């Protein structure tokens, strides 16, 4: 446990289905195919929470019985941003939930010595200022990649930004809150801290390696 509590900027998504799936993902015995499936499912469930307050508008429709007024999405444009490469695992679930969303990619790697984020790729759709940007990366560890990715998205015009992860370390939450106090964070769990290599403890290991079976 740790001292972090939910707040209006840190939303802990503690739904039992997500907690169960997350525990399965943490186990070292869970194979890559299963890990990938679970990450996609959790991505969809987290997306459901992160879009809970998007605007609705009323339209007139006819049911087989009568004319009536009912709500539909007001049509705010959306952009899902995956921080490569592990972000792609969460992205799949979000895309299932919002198939019409545009997708941006931010390529970041962690310098193994400094643990600083280094950008190697950025691609985003236009009119970012009109879109709700949902940035996904399974592991909010030091927070350096998240902060750098959001810096870049803001530089490209992004204004309304939310960050969705699978696991957060207190260090990452602090860093994200300090650099981007306007960005809401959605996470199912806040773990204890980081080890000397910047891995989350107890965590689940390297999310990219586990997702793609590269170790």
Q: What single DSSP character describes residue 190? A: B
HSE-CB at 69 with a 13 A cutoff on CA atoms is 4
User: Which of 4, 45, 206, 212: binder of ligand URA (CB under 6 A)?
Assistant: 206
What is d(CA 78, CA 206) in angstroms, rounded to the nearest whole number? 29
Chain positions 175 to 204 lying near ligand URA, rule: CB under 6 A, are: 198-200, 203
HSE-CB at 32 with a 13 A cutoff on CA atoms is 11
Question: Which residue in 30, 37, 102, 110 is the catalytic one?
Answer: 110
What is the per-residue binding string for ligand URA in 57-96, x denoting contact by CB under 6 A? -----------------------------x----------
What is d(CA 52, CA 174) in angstroms, rounded to the nearest whole number? 24
26 tagged catalytic = no
What is d(CA 211, CA 65) in angstroms, rounded to the nearest whole number? 49
What is d(CA 86, CA 208) in angstroms, rounded to the nearest whole number? 5
What is d(CA 119, CA 4) in angstroms, rounded to the nearest whole number? 29
Chain positions 120 to 149 lying near ligand URA, rule: CB under 6 A, are: 139, 141
Collapse the DSSP code of 39 into the 3-class scheme (helix H, G, I; strand E, B; otherwise coil) and give the result. Answer: helix
Question: What is the residue whose two structure tokens read 């289905």?
Answer: 17
Instruction: Based on the shown chain and the rule CB under 6 A, indicate whether residue 117 belongs to the binding site for ligand URA.
Output: no
Nearer to ligand URA, 58 or 195 (CB): 195
Question: Which residue in 23, 68, 114, 192 is the catalytic one?
Answer: 114
209 tagged catalytic = yes
Nearer to ligand URA, 157 or 198 (CB): 198
Instruction: Based on the shown chain and the rule CB under 6 A, indicate whether residue 109 belongs to the binding site for ligand URA.
Output: no
Least distance from C-beta 45 to ligand URA, angstroms? 20
Least distance from C-beta 151 to ligand URA, angstroms? 19
160-164 vs 117-123, strand pairing mode: unpaired
152 tagged catalytic = no
114 tagged catalytic = yes
**How long, in residues, is the chain?**
215
- Bridge-partner residues for 78, per DSSP? 132
Give residues in contact with ligand URA (CB under 6 A).
Answer: 86, 139, 141, 198-200, 203, 206-208
User: Which residues are part of the catalytic machinery?
Assistant: 110, 114, 206, 209
């Amino acid at each position: 446990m740790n001292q972090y509590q939910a707040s209006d900027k840190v939303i802990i998504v503690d739904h039992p289905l997500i907690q169960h799936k997350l525990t399965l993902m943490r186990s070292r015995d869970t194979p890559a195919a299963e890990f990938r499936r679970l990450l996609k499912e959790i991505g969809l469930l987290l997306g459901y929470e992160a879009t809970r307050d998007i605007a609705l508008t009323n339209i007139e429709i006819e049911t087989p019985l009568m004319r009536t007024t009912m709500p539909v999405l007001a049509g705010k444009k959306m952009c899902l941003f995956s921080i490569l490469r592990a972000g792609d695992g969460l992205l799949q679930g979000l895309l299932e939930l919002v198939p019409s969303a545009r997708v941006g990619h931010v390529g970041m790697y962690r310098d193994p010595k400094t643990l600083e984020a280094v950008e190697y790729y950025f691609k985003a759709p236009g009119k970012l200022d009109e879109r709700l940007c949902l940035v996904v990366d399974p592991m909010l560890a030091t927070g350096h990649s998240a902060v750098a990715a959001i810096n870049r998205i803001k530089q490209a015009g992004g204004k309304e930004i939310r960050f969705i992860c699978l696991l957060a370390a207190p260090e990452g939450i602090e860093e994200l809150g300090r650099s981007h106090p306007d960005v809401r964070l959605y996470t199912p769990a806040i773990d204890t801290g980081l080890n000397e290599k910047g891995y989350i403890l107890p965590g689940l290991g390297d999310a990219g390696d586990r997702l793609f079976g590269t170790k």
